[in-house]
Structures are given as structure tokens and as C-alpha cells.
Structure 1
Amino acid sequence: MSRPREFDVDRVLHQSMEVFWNQGFKATSYEDLTRTTGVKKQSLYCVFKDKRSLFLKALALYREQVIAKLKEIEALDSSPGDKLDALRYSLLDDETGCQGCLIVNASLEFGTDDEQVTREAELMVEEVQLVLEKIISSGQKQQLISNRYTSIELASYLNNTILGVRVMEKSGSSREQIETVLRTSFGMIMS
């Protein structure tokens, strides 16, 4: 008869995500994970198989959280311009700014060497793109956002800006530099 699980899997996954986010995959040891979570190595292995599996689950959790925040902004009862402003402010007010984006960090750490990490990054880009497209398309219909480019092109542009800002955060750029990039990029798509 197996022993019952003695820890909250969701809590441990969130805590592990934070460790990976701060340190990266390669620099994170199982000792770092067990110290942070308070869960023994064997118990972690039983639930998450290995460090890589835990990391992939952490990436998926991070992606889900980011997309949920974006969808909350997209669902606001406000104009497309106000939604884009809310998104821009959320990027500036993000308390985790100096950490950058976990998925961008992982992409920079792994390059294209790991298919599953690359797939998580691709999913993130696709899902962010879809939310941005909805907001932009709505703004174009209301003539609040430029029709010079398609909603797909503008969403891709803003998505790239967001990714670039996350790299800037991780590399220590000032809030003022980041704010300038965001204000300029978001402003350029408005009518």
C-alpha cells in the first residue's frame, strides 16, 4: 500500500516555478528545490519524475498564468485603447520585472536544443498573439487603432515588443527605458 502524498502539489509547483524563474534550469539543484518547498527529494521524484519534468510543468503553469492575466484584460468592459493601456501598465507594474519572463529566460538558456521548452515558448507566443489580435481587431473596427497593418501584423509587433521588454528587464534596463519602449510601441499602433 502506497503512502498518501504529504504535500500540496500545486503549492510545490508554484514554489518550484519561482526557483527556476530566479535561477534558471541548469543552475537550480534538487537541493534548492527541496529547501524551498520543504519536500524531500524522493517525494518530489514520485510526483514530478525528475527535475526536467518539474521544470516543464513550471513553464506550463507560468504560461497559463500569463495568458489568464491577458484574458482578464481582454475581457474588461472598456475600449480597445484602454485595454492596451491596461496591458502596458501591467507590464510596468509587474513586481517580478527584474526576473524577466520565465519562458523567455528558458528560451535564452536552452536555445532551440530542447523541443519541449521550444514548444512551450511557441505556445506562449501563439496564445499572447491571439489575445492581442482580438483587442487590436476590435480597435480597428472602431477606428481607434491603425488599419495601416493587419491585426495579425500589429499583434506580432506588440508581442515582439513585450518579449523584448522582458529581456530588457532581465538584463537590468531601467524602468524609464522600458516605459519609453512600451509607450512608443503601443502609441505607434493607435490611429
Structure 2
Amino acid sequence: MARPKEFEINEVLDKAIQLFWVQGYEKTSMQDLVDYMGIHRRSIYDTFGDKHTLYMKALQRYESTQNKKMRFLVDKQEPVKELIRQFLESSIRKEGEPQGCLIVNSGVELGVLDPEVASLVEDSYSKMEELLYDLVKTGQQRGELKASLEPEAASQYLLNAWLGLRTMVKTATDQRKLSNIIQTILNTLD
């Protein structure tokens, strides 16, 4: 008879997310995962299969959580430009979180080498671009953003800017610099 699991899957996935976020895929060994997640190696294999499958499950959970956070932000009834500001500011390091973004990190580290990771990253970027497209269209309909903006090009630009910020925060220590960049991005919408 199989032993019952002595852990909650989402809790150990959250731990795996943290470790992969800090160290990346290649630098994270199975022993690192065992130690950090606090479960036996056999349990990792029995529950998730191999390290790559665990990584993909962690990425999917992270992406889903991030998507919900961004969707919640967009659904707030605030001026669109303020929502875009909050969206961009979400890139700046949060207390208790590793620097940068696990999805961006994964795309940079493995996007060219791993088609499964590349597909997940591309899908995540597409969802964010759609969200930004909806924001731009809503802003134009409300008269909050200039009508001459091409929504598709503007959403692509904003996605690129957001991804740049999510990369830049890994090394930037000057918060004023990041704030200036965000303000410049927002100024393009006027």
C-alpha cells in the first residue's frame, strides 16, 4: 500500500518556485530541491517525475499566480494610466521576493534550448500583451489615452517596456532611475 503524501503540493511547488527563481534551472540540483522543499527525493520523483517536470509545474503555477495578480489589477475601476503605472511598478522588487521575474529568467536561461519552456514563456507574454491591449483600448474609449495610439503597437511597446523593467531590476539599485523610466513610458501615452 502506498504511503500517503506528507506535504501539500502547492506549498512545495511554492518552495520550488522560490529556489528556481533565485538560482535558475541549471544551478538548482535535486539535492538543493530536497533540502529547500523539505521533502524526500523519492517524494519529488513520485509526485512530479523528474526535475524538468517539477520546473514546468513550478513555472505554470508562477505564471498562473502572476496572471491572476495582473488581471485583478486591470479589473480595478481606476484610471487606465494609473493601472498601467501599477502594472509597470509591479516589476520593481517586492520585499521578500527574489529580484526579477521567474518567467523572464526562464526565457533568458532556457528559451532557446527548451521548446517547452519557450512555449510557456511565449504564452505568458501573449497573455500580458492581450491584457495591455485591453487596457489601451479601454483608455481610448474613456478618453484617458490619446486616440492616435495604435492599440496593438502600444500594447507591444508596453510589454517590451515591462519585460525590460523586469530584467533591469535584477541589477538596478537606483529606485529613482526606475521611477524615471516608468514615467517616460507613461508619457508616451499622452
Instruction: Count matched residues.
Output: 190
Structure-1-length-normalised TM-score: 0.92
Letter in 2 for 1:119: S
**CA distance in structure 2 between the aligned counterparts of 1:149 and 1:63, rounded to whole angstroms:** 29
Structure 1 residues 133-142 or 178-187, which shifts more? Answer: 178-187
1:16 match: 16
Structure-2-length-normalised TM-score: 0.93
Structure 1 position 66 matched with structure 2 position 28: no
**CA distance in structure 2 between the aligned counterparts of 1:55 and 1:174, rounded to whole angstroms:** 32
Cα pair distance change 1:42/1:93, threshold 3 Å: closer
Alignment deviations for residues 25-55 of structure 1 (CA, whole Å, 9 cap, x no partner): 0000111111111100010100010111011
Unaligned segments of structure 1, at least 5 residues: none
Cα pair distance change 1:92/1:48, threshold 3 Å: same
1:171 deviates by: 3.0
Cα pair distance change 1:97/1:169, threshold 3 Å: farther
Answer yes or no: is the 8 Å Cα contact 2:88–2:162 preserved in 1: no
1:109 match: 109
Q: How does 1:1-80 map to 2 (within 5 A)?
A: 1-80=1-80
Q: How does 1:92-107 map to 2 (within 5 A)?
A: 92=92, 94-95=94-95, 99-107=99-107
Residue 90 of structure 2: SS of its match in structure 1? helix
- C-alpha RMSD over aligned residues: 1.6
Letter in 2 for 1:68: K
Cα pair distance change 1:93/1:35, threshold 3 Å: closer
1:62 deviates by: 1.2
Answer yes or no: is the 8 Å Cα contact 2:133–2:151 preserved in 1: yes
1:95 deviates by: 3.0
Answer yes or no: is the 8 Å Cα contact 1:21–1:102 preserved in 2: yes
Letter in 1 for 2:141: K
1:173 deviates by: 4.7
Residue 44 of structure 2: SS of its match in structure 1? helix
**CA distance in structure 2 between the aligned counterparts of 1:139 and 1:70, rounded to whole angstroms:** 17
Residue 104 of structure 2: SS of its match in structure 1? helix
Residue 170 of structure 1: SS of its match in structure 2? coil
Alignment deviations for residues 6-27 of structure 1 (CA, whole Å, 9 cap, x no partner): 1111100000000000000000
Residue 92 of structure 1: SS of its match in structure 2? coil
2:87 match: 87
Answer yes or no: is the 8 Å Cα contact 1:97–1:170 preserved in 2: no
Residue 143 of structure 1: SS of its match in structure 2? coil
Structure 1 position 154 matched with structure 2 position 158: no
1:136 deviates by: 0.9
Residue 91 of structure 1: SS of its match in structure 2? coil
Unaligned segments of structure 2, at least 5 residues: none
**CA distance in structure 2 between the aligned counterparts of 1:98 and 1:18, rounded to whole angstroms:** 7
Structure 1 position 176 matched with structure 2 position 176: yes
Letter in 2 for 1:49: G
Answer yes or no: is the 8 Å Cα contact 1:98–1:172 preserved in 2: no
Residue 25 of structure 1: SS of its match in structure 2? coil
Letter in 1 for 2:42: Q
